[in-house]
Amino acid sequence: MMVFPPASFLSGRLLLEEEIPFPLPDSPAIQKLPGLSKRNSRLYCERCGNNEKERFALFPCARCQTECLYCRHCLMMGRISGCSRLVYWTGAEPPYEGEGILHWKGSLSEGQERASQAVTQAIRENGEQLIWAVCGAGKTEVLFRGIEAALLANKRVCIATPRTDVVLELAPRLQHVFPGTKVAALYGGSPDRHLYSQLVVSTTHQLLRFFQAFDVMIVDEVDAFPYSCDPSLQFAVQKARKPDAALIYLTATPNERWQKDCLHGKKAFVKIPARFHRQPLPVPQFSWIGNWKRAVKKGRLPASITSWAARRLQVNKQSLLFFPHIEWMQQALPLFQQLDSSIAAVHAGDPERKAKVAFMRDQKIPLLLSTTILERGVTFPNIDVAVIGTEDEVFTESALVQIAGRAGRSADFPDGEVRFFHYGKTRAAVKAIAHIRQMNKEGLEKGWLDR
Amino acid sequence: MSSCLLCGESVNGRLGWRPFFLLEAPPSICGACRRQFEPIIGERCRACSRPLAALDPAFIREDRCLDCCRWEEDSFYKGVLAGNYSLYTYNEAMKDFIARFKYRGDYILAQVFAGEIKKAAKQLPHDVAVAIPLSQERLMERGFNQAEALAQAAGLDIEDVLQRVHGEKQSKKSRSERLEAANVFGVKEKSSICHKKVLIIDDIYTTGSTLRQAAYLLKQAGAAEVRALTLARGQGT
């Protein structure tokens, strides 16, 4: 194993003693704190911020010979118990390697340009900025100049996203335009986990291993599950940034509170209501399908779904169908395969998930059934999209806007049909459609759409 | 209302007088998680609990699997272990469970199967229960002994008679390597097992060599009979 100088290994981190692969030298710059403490008379995990009594448990610890407490919330990252200690570095930050200059020849749309300026300014002034951009607006490009400004000012930058898929896609793109800086990609089990880098792309989860490390914190998809539901991930973002760090939030669908804050001028935000290809977002249409679960149980698909799918197979247009739960998708799969045997289904735990997505890209799968895992981040150029069972509670406004955003992504094929098959219209679905319409309206008013 | 120890969803316990008077513990995991585990039902190897239905008939001799027949042909290990009883197959859910419980150290998960282990132990004739020990080094690394944790959660009184002499990880070795390896256990205390029926508790039965090494020493130390009760029956290599 390589030997890492302690400064670059420890700087900006908060690690369990057991996670450090070399003997710790005696240095006043290396400090330790107990893994668990009490805050406001509540038990508190110093790594993940868990303070719920039910999320701790006791065990007879062989190490400290007492009934020792441990945190169950962040257990999968290595157990923090009452007798474990977290190590951090109080010395100077080691210098960064590389030159941080942006190598990118592309151009920005008008909307992107404004957002890019706002991002750069927020980074210069250590401010806060929300970028509210439709799916396909080109959010990543909006960050480029701001990141360059930060790197050149010797600031450390982190882009955090809830999903490993997005880390894997984003890191090489950034590496490509910043060839002079080594981009670290962090996710569970990533080979870069010990790399000291000025530009870090990380899952929100992995940020729990950092402490006041970043001068610029960019949070992608703040609305996405699990970030929106798990308070410890929000805690992770706050913990990993320096107290005066710039904060950039990216989202297509801010939650209701944020939307209100924006409306009332309480939050600095820039909206990009139009896609970079200057075509409007496809507006979803409702189709009532009745009690589709009963139909599937009886071994048939509602007629309108069959005809929708058959038409697409006939004209060779690829499509993506979203199901609320794995079980229903698995039951419906053979029924779809009666239409075409090459129809496939994919879900989060699917070992062939990557291969199936690649097959879909290579157009070897005409129609792919999916749970909400493909709701964001994944782009196929020319597809139609449908949701089966839109009434299910997993399809929130944000999820449905994201799903609809899968259609019409490429400039060559800006049209795509989006259909919400439902057994009862929900508030979320109605709001999602209104949201998309509103964005198109604003795009048109700004003159950022060609039609 | 409590939360599922595995997925965190709320668990609705059964309504009735027994739970009301706390005669019945509320379930520790939810139904959806519970259903992921595969209890061993139907025909199983009389000696090691291996489910016979999924096994190639070429590897079955009457009501025993070929592995167990081979153990009984071994002059050294013949008759050492009267039998192993496993509760579950080592499927994906059980793999994840054991990984989280033993390697990540989620001690409280010992409660999940406590009821089943207790029930099974009652039906296996024994005077004394013994947990497979960890080496000192491994114990410090994990903080607790998973076999002991399972036994204690099931309310079994464990006699501390075994110790691990040297601790090499077993999982990376092939069957023959494991058989040839010298016995890793030692007996600390003979008096409590002499002429007694001993029940060994462990988390998983894979090749059975760990359990037989322990059983061999317990017999040598005077145990009348040695059986094993394990949470999962893995597939030997």
* CATH of region A285-446: 3.40.50.300
Q: B113-155: per-residue pLDDT in tens?
A: 999 999 999 999 999 999 999 999 999 999 999 999 999 999 9
Strands A42-45 and A183-186: unpaired
Same domain, B29 and B81: no
Interface predicted TM-score (ipTM): 0.88
- Measure in Å the smallest separation between the Cα of B177 and chain A Cα atoms: 28
Alpha-carbon separation of residue A159 from A114, A166, A219, A220, B40 (angstroms):
20, 10, 6, 7, 47
* Residues A217 and A202: beta-carbon distance below 8 Å: no
Q: What is the pLDDT of residue A355?
A: 87
* Residues A163 and A169: beta-carbon distance below 8 Å: no
* B185 in a structural domain: yes
Which band of pLDDT confidence, cut at 50, 70 and 90, is reported for residue B178? low
Q: Which of A307, A299, A308, A322 is nearest to A432 (CA)?
A: A322
pLDDT, mean over chain B: 88
Calculate helix-pair angle for A139-152, A110-124, nearest 10 degrees: 30
Same domain, B29 and B115: no
Place of tokens 């005409």: A366
Same domain, B10 and B88: no
Query: Is the confidence at residue B22, as pLDDT, over 70?
Result: no
Q: What is the pLDDT of residue B24?
A: 62
* B5 in a structural domain: yes
Same domain, B177 and B227: yes
3-state SS track over B57-110? HHHEECCEEHHHHHHHHCCCCCCCCCEEEEEEECCHHHHHHHHHHHHCCCHHHH
The domain A110-272 is placed in CATH, from the list 3.40.50.510, 3.40.190.10, 3.30.565.10, 3.40.50.300, at 3.40.50.300
Q: What is the pLDDT of residue B226?
A: 96
Q: What is the pLDDT of residue B167?
A: 52
* Residues A84 and A16: beta-carbon distance below 8 Å: yes
Task: Show the low-confidence residues of chain A (pLDDT under 70).
Answer: 1-4, 225-229, 377
**Which residues of chain A are within 8 Å of residue B108 when distances are taken between CB atoms?**
57-59, 72
B107 to A58: CB separation less than 8 angstroms, yes or no: yes
**Which residues of chain B are within 8 Å of residue A75 when distances are taken between CB atoms?**
100, 104-106
Q: What gap in Å lies between CA A46 and CA A71, rounded to an integer? A: 10
Q: Is A146 exposed, middle or buried (0-12, 13-18, 19+ CB in 10 A)?
A: buried
B35 close to A (CB below 8 A): no
What are the residue boundaries of the structural domains of chain A, listed by start?
A: 6-89, 110-272, 285-446
Q: Number of structural domains, chain B?
A: 2
| Least confident interval from A97-111, B18-32, B217-231 | B18-32
* B93 in a structural domain: yes
- Measure in Å the smallest separation between the Cα of B136 and chain A Cα atoms: 9
Token code pair at residue A219: 């949070």
* Residue B21, domain extent: 1-35
B143 to A59: CB separation less than 8 angstroms, yes or no: yes
Q: Which of B157, B161, B205 is nearest to B185 (CA)?
A: B161
**Which residues of chain B are within 8 Å of residue A76 when distances are taken between CB atoms?**
100, 104
Q: Which amino acid is at A205?
A: H
Interface of A with B in 4-63 (CB under 8 A): 54, 57-63
Rg of chain B over CA atoms, in angstroms?
A: 18
Which band of pLDDT confidence, cut at 50, 70 and 90, is reported for residue B237? very low
For B143, the closest of A57, A72, A81 (CB atoms) is A81
Which band of pLDDT confidence, cut at 50, 70 and 90, is reported for residue B18? low
Q: Enter the DSSP assignment of B15.
A: P
Same domain, B103 and B185: yes
Interface of B with A in 108-147 (CB under 8 A): 108, 139-140, 142-145
Q: What is the pLDDT of residue A225?
A: 64
- Over residues B216-233, mean pLDDT: 94
Query: Is the confidence at residue B180, as pLDDT, over 60?
Result: no
Q: What gap in Å lies between CA A40 and CA A103, rounded to an integer? A: 49
* B41 in a structural domain: no
- Where would I find the beta strands (DSSP E) of A269-354? 269-272, 285-288, 318-322, 344-346
Same domain, B118 and B227: yes
* B40 in a structural domain: no
